[in-house]
């Protein structure tokens, strides 16, 4: 697959025109080219120019994410909505599989038993199954999933290739993302309360496109 743009000529033209409008309205910025491709796609997905000021990157985030995709890393997701937004052809091209266990019966039962959250128990289950190591972890909905990943990094020496931390919300969302920015594992975050599964999908699509360009 050499082209990950829209499938029709009209679709490509609309996308290109949209990106041109974004570039024009944003004007000068301090993002390197690869990071800007990600930020621009987030703005494109949301029509929200505030993300220009909210997006933050670990210095190795883009390079680590590209390498991980090129080797067919697992994509660990906090919610199925992210998986629904991904392009199966792109996943197949790199040999990447998605993993999300938040709706698994055993995860739900354990969360009820321990009075935790499904997001926490989901990350713990995927860690036990060995899916988190070397993965790209994309969290768009559940701050507790992000906090659990950070705990696993600190206490169990987990080393994912990249954490996409963009959970949306009012309880622990901003705080979890600030903690993410303090870790040495490559990360990519949208600071503050804003975020969501749509943002996570846009970031992954941008990384897929960058991974193709890097071949």
DSSP state of 162: E
Residue 141, Cβ neighbours under 10 Å: how many?
Answer: 24
* The one catalytic residue among 29, 44, 93, 205: 44
Q: 44 catalytic, yes or no?
A: yes
On whether the CB atoms of residues 30 and 56 are closer than 8 A, the answer is no
Helices (H), 86-214: 88-94, 105-114, 118-128, 143-156, 173-180, 197-213
Under 8 Å between Cβ of 192 and 54: yes
Supply the DSSP symbol for 93. Answer: H
CA torsion 97-103-105-111 (nearest 10°) is: 120
The catalytic site residues sit at: 44
């Amino acid at each position: 697959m050499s082209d990950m743009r829209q499938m029709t000529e009209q679709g490509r033209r609309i996308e290109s025109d949209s990106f041109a409008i974004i570039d024009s309205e944003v004007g000068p910025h301090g993002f390197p080219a690869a990071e800007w491709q990600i930020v621009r796609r987030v703005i494109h997905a949301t029509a929200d120019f505030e993300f220009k000021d909210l997006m933050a990157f670990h210095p190795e985030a883009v390079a680590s994410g590209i390498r991980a995709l090129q080797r067919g890393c697992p994509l660990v997701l906090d919610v199925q909505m992210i998986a629904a937004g991904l392009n199966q052809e792109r996943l197949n091209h790199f040999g990447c599989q998605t993993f999300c266990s938040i709706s698994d019966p055993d995860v739900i039962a354990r969360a009820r038993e321990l009075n935790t959250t499904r997001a926490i128990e989901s990350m713990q289950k995927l860690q036990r199954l060995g899916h988190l190591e070397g993965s790209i972890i994309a969290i768009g909905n559940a701050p507790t999933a992000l906090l659990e990943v950070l705990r696993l990094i600190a206490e169990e020496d987990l080393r994912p290739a990249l954490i996409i931390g963009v959970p949306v919300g009012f309880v622990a969302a901003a705080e979890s993302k600030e903690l993410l920015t303090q870790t040495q594992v490559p990360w990519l975050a949208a600071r503050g309360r804003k975020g969501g599964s749509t943002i996570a999908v846009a970031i992954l699509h941008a990384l897929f496109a960058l991974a193709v360009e890097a071949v």
